[in-house]
Structure 1
């Protein structure tokens, strides 16, 4: 058998073998690696390359070596799930670099971190002044987690006392001109509704590159033809305008009626509707 065919077979077998082992190790092996996992990943790659191309070496000896390098970390990972001490040994612990708004220079030296490196890490988080940070910890993965001071944190609806509707995930109901039935059902919509919405927008199904239904049940599309302008959804602004019209009508009825009871009823309903409009104005205005 020619050597190139043998190498191709060995490489294909090793690739499939590593794929299975990586799935067994879990997603951590392909996300944020600890130092131990980083070393394992490099070693496995080197072993896989050697047994794939070294046709004179015993293939199964290489497989055994890979198994050892996989099974030992797997056993250790199962043990660390039950022991915090072992987790500290193998995965490391985070270290506080900024506390109560003050940089802990001693901890910086322990991590061999310079002031420039700290500022660089802060800038990657969108923070350009150390004085804005209340707390910062260098995680075992090497990532820097920060907590801004209260006055520097972003304003949220909770700070304003606003209650918003529960945000549901946006569903991609069309892709490459093809209707995706499962996301469409998850959005609580039907094909008939989708065709109606496309007719309202004046676009053909085949011209839709991506169609999404947001948490408010509105359809937004991106077309293959970028020159075509797609109108924005108008359901929410139209609903807000309708509520305001009802409010104005109630005020008008209260002014024009001569019946005292009816006047008070219209005024009370107008006040209630005004309160409702104030609560939903931010949501419907978008």
Structure 2
């Protein structure tokens, strides 16, 4: 086997081996150990690189080193989870940079943070005035967290006793031109209703839609493949056809939901009559 072939094989092996180790290590359940992670990543990366291209190195030596380094990393993380003292030793403690609106210059010097660094951290939290800050803390992950003074916090509905409607997570209902029927049915909306909403936003049909998302209030966001082809003026005939089909589907849904036999029969009868009307006028609504 040639030297180039050996390097290629070992590189592929090193890549997937380091990927396996990353999966085994998993996500940490504690605050990010930034510097420790940085050093560990560099060390494991160097070992993997040596395994890939150093033809004079025995593969087993590199594998043992990678496994041992990964094991030690896992032990450090586990120890930080189990012991408060060990966690403080490994990751340190948060440092208060601003307290009661006053900048603590000694702590800035201790953490080697310049005034510009502090202001940048505040701006990242949408704070531009020092006078607005009650407390700012440098976390062990290197992120500056900010607590504004009470008078500068945004007003929430809870502050004024305003009731708000609970919301669920928005759901994608069209992905890459494909309608997710099961998800749409689970949310309680009909295909005809969604088609009407899509037509309102300039699409000709579902296949024109790259992504569509619906929120808990029934608002639909539509992103088309080509925005330049968006219909600027919604054609009323196809929209009317979609609305009629939605009404017909709603009547059938009402019939299924009710336990009153008279109401159930009435909904079914109305649904049949509306379907007959749709069949009659549908040829005139096509464009």
TM-score after normalising by structure 1: 0.74
Cα–Cα, structure 1 residues 223 and 158, in superposed 2: closer, same or farther, change >3 Å? same
Cα–Cα, structure 1 residues 103 and 200, in superposed 2: closer, same or farther, change >3 Å? closer
Deviation readout 1:155-209 (Å, 9 max, x if unpaired): 2212222111112111111111112346435534454553454456563111001
Deviates more, 1:196-205 or 1:104-113: 196-205
Cα–Cα, structure 1 residues 104 and 210, in superposed 2: closer, same or farther, change >3 Å? same
Cα–Cα, structure 1 residues 182 and 94, in superposed 2: closer, same or farther, change >3 Å? farther
Q: Which residue in the other structure is 2:249 paired with?
A: none
> In 2, Cα distance between the equivalents of 1:183 and 1:176?
15
> In 2, Cα distance between the equivalents of 1:133 and 1:231?
49
SS of the residue aligned with 2:15?
helix
SS of the residue aligned with 1:81?
helix
Q: Which residue in the other structure is 1:80 paired with?
A: 80
How many residue pairs end up in the alignment?
231
> In 1, Cα distance between the equivalents of 2:42 and 2:186?
42
Shift of residue 113, structure 1, vs aligned partner:
1.7
SS of the residue aligned with 1:27?
coil
SS of the residue aligned with 2:156?
coil
Q: How does 1:1-286 map to 2 (within 5 A)?
A: 1-28=1-28, 32-181=32-181, 183-184=183-184, 187-189=187-189, 191=191, 193-195=193-195, 197-198=197-198, 203-227=204-228, 228-229=230-231
Cα–Cα, structure 1 residues 190 and 57, in superposed 2: closer, same or farther, change >3 Å? farther
Cα–Cα, structure 1 residues 186 and 44, in superposed 2: closer, same or farther, change >3 Å? farther
Q: Which residue in the other structure is 1:265 paired with?
A: none
Shift of residue 145, structure 1, vs aligned partner:
0.3
> In 1, Cα distance between the equivalents of 2:199 and 2:171?
20
Deviates more, 1:168-177 or 1:120-129: 120-129
> In 2, Cα distance between the equivalents of 1:231 and 1:134?
52
Gap runs ≥5 in structure 1:
233-286
Shift of residue 64, structure 1, vs aligned partner:
0.6
Deviates more, 1:201-210 or 1:189-198: 189-198
Deviation readout 1:195-243 (Å, 9 max, x if unpaired): 45445656311100111111112322111231315789xxxxxxxxxxx
Gap runs ≥5 in structure 2:
235-287
Cα–Cα, structure 1 residues 80 and 229, in superposed 2: closer, same or farther, change >3 Å? same
Deviation readout 1:54-87 (Å, 9 max, x if unpaired): 1221111101101111000101211211111111
Whether the 8 Å contact between 1:187 and 1:217 is mirrored in structure 2 is no
SS of the residue aligned with 2:97?
strand
Alignment root-mean-square deviation, CA: 2.4
Whether the 8 Å contact between 1:101 and 1:130 is mirrored in structure 2 is yes
Cα–Cα, structure 1 residues 152 and 187, in superposed 2: closer, same or farther, change >3 Å? same
